[in-house]
Structure 1
Amino acid sequence: MKLSVIKSSFVLLLFVCLSGCSSTNKHQVISADVVIYGGTPAAITAAVELTRSNKHVVIVCPEKHLGGMSSNGLGFTDTGDKNIIGGIAKEFYQRLYTYYDKEEAWNWQSKSEYGNKGQDTPAIDGGTKSMWIFEPHVAENVFENFIEENKIAVYRDHWLDRNDGVEVTNGSIKSIKMLNGTLFKAKIYIDATYEGDLLAAAGVSYHVGRESNSEYNETWNGVQVGTFHHGHNFGDMKISPYKIPGDSSSGVLAYISTDPPGKKGEADYRVQAYCFRLCLTKHEENRVPFEKPAGYDSTKYELLARIYEAGWNQTFDKFDPIPNYKTDVNNHGPFSSDYIGMNYEYPEASYEQRARIIREHEAYQKGLLYFLANDRRVPSEVRQEMNKWGYAKDEFVDNGHWPHQIYVREARRMIGEYIMTENEVLGRTPVTTSIGMGSYTMDSHNVQRYITPDGYVQNEGDIGVHPHKPYQIAMGTVLPQKEECSNLLVPVAVSSSHIAFGSIRMEPVFMILGQSSGVMASMALDKKVPLHDLSYEEVRKELVARNQIIN
């Protein structure tokens, strides 16, 4: 009897211990000087900067793979003026140069055969020893090396409880809780997500969609009906949007809205299109053929068939070469990889809704690839060429060779201490508190596909306006309004208008702003002052000392 009691007590004690351990793990509390939410390049540059400044920093992120778009297919870098890229961002591209300077890096293709085509700069820049064009897995390895060298703790597959997981007291974030119960506490937080999830959960003001031109005295914001800056429109093809051409009673083809597009210059809720940046190859040893996706419906691509019939022939114009016989494939033309009009809900959507939207984008693009390679309505020369292509076998090996990250070109944008507009980007309004620079075209992809008054299909929202020279980005763009939150920095979903964000939203700029945010956080901790009370002159000196280029 006594033995049974002892055994029962032991089992009970073991159960309590195990339950207690499980509960502790589930509700683990992680403390640091700075907590960074997100796995983007900005998160990594901020974390590296803080670690090098002897601060205790952790990254917590939904992603399992770090590096955002830079390690998910966007290897044909949107550099703009390379001379404004400094600090850790430049170090990233220099590490890529060091990697590709080794013979063993060229396993499918010789370096001499690759050529040297980049975007606005040579791919292999011997002068600055920078590599601007690269393979996804190589970029991810560079980011992981940054993490390992600096011994940065990364909590992956941790999802912010966006409903009630952010504790804010008197305008200061006290803690953030993940869906798995893990609690993170810090003096300062950095929202480095593309979506701006932490800033929104903390009650910080933000905007989704396009502001009217009158909001900030702009020209290129708002609805842009009749503006065609690139070839991503139907021009004068006069293609019918109806299932039976010319018969409006027959119904509308897939992916065409029947809503009116709005008046030029007015605000709307719409968001520029997303896509996956695909890494494809024609090298047979490394090629995975396209397969017919589940639920494939060829009729959904009827509009593309009509475009070919009208004589369009630019299918492969944005198969941009990256090393080892691969490409960074981007949207091109009136009907391409951009899933126009199908992402409006994404910025504010729940995780489940976002997952559905992402799956729909993937199905659309996989269906498009299969259509191009197999459908008889596609010109034979296009089909023959497309059948030479496939997914790169050595990329995204744990995800069916498909990128882990969809290209969230724009989601929430903070309304912070300073709002960047086209006036700053185009040099009309001077910036006196620069923490970094941008230079790329104010670039918005199409926002909607609609029916014109004369009964044809057209795209709207594609804008490309080039700054006359590099421009400065104000310190206040990464700071919420002081009364809303005093201990948060936002280097990705920065405070800017839709069209200004079209230039700022480039990966090198996000890395620059990530490091600058790290500098600001470190200084605030050292000086024991709120972020908003930092002296810009002192911030400027620290940025220059770290090789950031600010003017």
Structure 2
Amino acid sequence: MKFRLLFLLCLFFWACQDTPESDDSAISADVIVYGGTSGAVTTAVQVARMGRSVMIVCPDKHLGGLTSSGLGFTDTGNKRVIGGLSREFYQKLYQHYQQADAWRWQKKEEYGNVGQGTPAIDGANRTMWIFEPHVAEAAFEEFIKEQQIEVMRDEWLDRENGVELEDGKIVSITTLSGKTYKADVFIDATYEGDLMAAAGVNYHVGREANSVYGEEWNGIQVGVLHHGHHFSDRQISPYKVPDDPASGVLARISTADPGQKGEGDNKVQAYCFRTCLTKHEPNRIAFEKPEDYDSTQYELLLRIYDSGWRETFRKFDAIPNLKTDVNNHGPFSFDNIGMNYDYPEASYERRKEIIEEHETYQKGLLYFIANDPRIPKDVQSEMKLWGLSKDEFADNGHWPHQIYVREARRMKGDFVMTENEIQGRSPVDESIGMGSYTMDSHNIQRYITPEGHVQNEGDIGVHPKEPYQIALGSIMPKKAECRNLLVPVAVSSSHIAFGSIRMEPVFMILGQSAGTLAAMALEKGVDVHDISYSEIRERLLADGQVLENPGS
């Protein structure tokens, strides 16, 4: 009898070993944050501070998105409306730069202290708005370490089959490595909105027509020339042989009809890398010729120089230690106009190709200006002084880890933010944070005018009248689509409204608010849609979020 019982027990354990892997093998937390952006970090930190288990699962190896990948000259807008964890991040940077050993390549008193409409070092509020990439990344890692948050890096969502849904909720997500992650609440904190899309939530790519939301600045903007990122009245021929259409068109100029002003399209604003450059010789690496370098890609720039333009270095913005955050500027610059339209919905393989093409373009442009004998001598002699910063992005050839995805998918959620809310024409009743930056879109097309000249289209800068509230519903899918997902980065907004909301301090603000909502839903055992706003508001204010314009 004993022998028979022992045999049956052995048979049972053998059968268990032979069965497929059970759900117990899934990695679980109360909240799974998918993405490694700045907003992902503040989401996870807030959840942890509210006593819930949380894990970051991300394709990234480095946390912080653009904030730690070159965008150190922060787009602050009105800094008074940056509160909570977002402000706490900039206070961490302030603490770092108060240390003498933080100033390796220059003395603190030699730093110019210029920010975007604000001093870089704000002693009164103990914030630092301008910073080096590696310092930002260290601050994000410190946030994670303080809360003992586990980060699963280099984990890519299986976008085809990796989202399990049940009764309107995400049950689990599976990555391409085969790992499965289960949670009660999920947060999509990616720039691309990949989890949101894989879960079947509705979204938009491109510009809506102005008629969709009753806007003025959303659709195609042919004839609108804001900022200085256009050809103005320069009558530059787009053809290889000037004024001869039969000779063919120069590289990086579209021959397609740009469309009618105010109409919608499926195009997205240009991407670039925010490179960290320096002139300081001990820390400088000279620009190298990319493997696929092709000087013909930059012929148009020579004609722009011939017209007298000399603003190449206008957006070489100073950050500490004799470095710069370099952004696009002018009619032909680091924005790779028209080469990213398929990025938002592209496969990982195709996105990699797009990113590599952008990297080749931008590295090639730097090399071209520094070395091509046709470049004006005054420009070339200046560019030869610059190079990549040796002490940044050391594991990536000193090139930024993250391309600047200025816009990809945008959710169509419970509430759609439009220019009407940004401009104060329509009220927001349930604020979860504030924005204030210009409604800013980079160029989307480079086309040929009816007169036969080259022109850029899509660059817009329209200032809000005052800081504005961002609606709770903008981070929530419609309840009928998903009841346990929040989206604080690819938020529900029109193209032009997103142009203001998409600033990194705001993503951190919305991340904290998403984390608050997730933790409260878990505490009450309800869907994220079912918590009263008064309760949400009370907690957000207690944690330092700014929900109303301090100046109103």
TM superposition score category, shorter chain reference: over 0.9
CA shift in 2, pair 1:25/1:145, >3 Å: farther
Cα separation, 2, equivalents of 1:62 and 1:397? 19
SS in 1 for 2:393: coil
Match of 1:202?
199
Match of 2:332?
335
Match of 2:361?
364
Match of 1:525 among 509, 522, 526: 522
Match of 1:267 among 248, 264, 267: 264
Q: Deviations over 1:81-122 (max 9, x none)?
A: 000000010000000000001111000011111111000110
SS in 2 for 1:215: helix
Matched, 1:455 2:440: no
CA shift in 2, pair 1:26/1:537, >3 Å: closer
> Which deviates further from its counterpart, 247-256 or 294-303?
294-303
Match of 2:250 among 253, 256, 260: 253
Identity score, percent = 67
Match of 1:512?
509
Match of 1:294?
291
Code of the aligned partner of 1:98: Q
Code of the aligned partner of 1:335: F
Q: Deviations over 1:500-546 (max 9, x none)?
A: 00000000000000000000001111111111111001100000000
Match of 1:54?
51
Post-superposition offset of 1:28? 4.7
Q: Deviations over 1:410-436 (max 9, x none)?
A: 000000000000000000001010000
Code of the aligned partner of 2:439: M
CA shift in 2, pair 1:105/1:212, >3 Å: same
Cα separation, 2, equivalents of 1:28 and 1:462? 49
Cα separation, 2, equivalents of 1:426 and 1:383? 43
Match of 1:310?
307
- Tell me if structure 2 keeps the 8 A contact 1:26–1:182: no
SS in 1 for 2:29: strand
Match of 2:3?
none
Q: Deviations over 1:132-165 (max 9, x none)?
A: 0000000000000111111000000000000010
Matched, 1:323 2:316: no
Cα separation, 1, equivalents of 2:299 and 2:448? 16
SS in 2 for 1:258: coil
- Tell me if structure 2 keeps the 8 A contact 1:41–1:70: yes
Code of the aligned partner of 2:175: M
Match of 2:147?
150
Matched, 1:43 2:40: yes
CA shift in 2, pair 1:27/1:342, >3 Å: farther
Within-5 A mapping of 1:451-530: 451-530=448-527
> Which deviates further from its counterpart, 111-120 or 407-416?
111-120
CA shift in 2, pair 1:26/1:454, >3 Å: farther
SS in 2 for 1:398: helix
Match of 1:404 among 396, 401, 404: 401
Tell me the TM-score normalised to structure 2 length: 0.95
- Tell me if structure 2 keeps the 8 A contact 1:167–1:173: yes
Cα separation, 1, equivalents of 2:535 and 2:457? 44
Match of 1:177?
174
Match of 2:411?
414
Q: How many residues align?
A: 532
- Tell me if structure 2 keeps the 8 A contact 1:28–1:181: no
Cα separation, 1, equivalents of 2:131 and 2:405? 20
Post-superposition offset of 1:300? 1.1
Unmatched 5+ residue regions in structure 2?
Answer: 1-13
Match of 1:212?
209
Code of the aligned partner of 2:171: K
Match of 2:10?
none
SS in 2 for 1:226: coil
Q: Deviations over 1:330-383 (max 9, x none)?
A: 000000000000000000000000000000000000100001101122110111
SS in 1 for 2:394: coil
Post-superposition offset of 1:76? 0.1
CA shift in 2, pair 1:489/1:308, >3 Å: same
Match of 2:233?
236
Cα separation, 1, equivalents of 2:375 and 2:75? 31
SS in 2 for 1:328: strand
Cα separation, 2, equivalents of 1:132 and 1:96? 8
Match of 1:163?
160
Match of 2:101?
104
Post-superposition offset of 1:27? 10
Within-5 A mapping of 1:61-100: 61-100=58-97
Match of 1:386?
383
RMSD across aligned positions (CA): 1.4
SS in 1 for 2:183: strand
- Tell me if structure 2 keeps the 8 A contact 1:35–1:58: yes
Code of the aligned partner of 2:544: N
Code of the aligned partner of 2:315: K
Cα separation, 2, equivalents of 1:24 and 1:393? 47
Match of 1:430?
427
Match of 2:26 among 7, 25, 29: 29
Match of 1:191 among 188, 191, 194: 188
Post-superposition offset of 1:295? 1.8
Cα separation, 2, equivalents of 1:479 and 1:278? 34
Cα separation, 2, equivalents of 1:427 and 1:332? 30
SS in 2 for 1:514: helix
Cα separation, 2, equivalents of 1:156 and 1:325? 31
Q: Deviations over 1:378-428 (max 9, x none)?
A: 110111010000000000000000000000000000000000000000000
Code of the aligned partner of 1:100: Y
Cα separation, 2, equivalents of 1:193 and 1:83? 26
Cα separation, 2, equivalents of 1:337 and 1:114? 26
Cα separation, 1, equivalents of 2:542 and 2:295? 57
Matched, 1:373 2:367: no
Post-superposition offset of 1:26? 13
Match of 1:14?
none
Post-superposition offset of 1:217? 0.1
- Tell me if structure 2 keeps the 8 A contact 1:280–1:389: yes
Unmatched 5+ residue regions in structure 1?
Answer: 1-16
Post-superposition offset of 1:24? 7.0
- Tell me if structure 2 keeps the 8 A contact 1:27–1:180: no
Cα separation, 2, equivalents of 1:458 and 1:28? 56
Matched, 1:222 2:219: yes
Q: Deviations over 1:436-492 (max 9, x none)?
A: 000000000000000000100000000000001000000000000010000000000
Q: Deviations over 1:205-233 (max 9, x none)?
A: 00000000000000000100000111100
Code of the aligned partner of 1:193: T
> Which deviates further from its counterpart, 180-189 or 27-36?
27-36
Q: Deviations over 1:213-260 (max 9, x none)?
A: 000000000100000111100011100000000000001000000000
Match of 2:8?
none
Post-superposition offset of 1:321? 0.1
Match of 1:537?
534
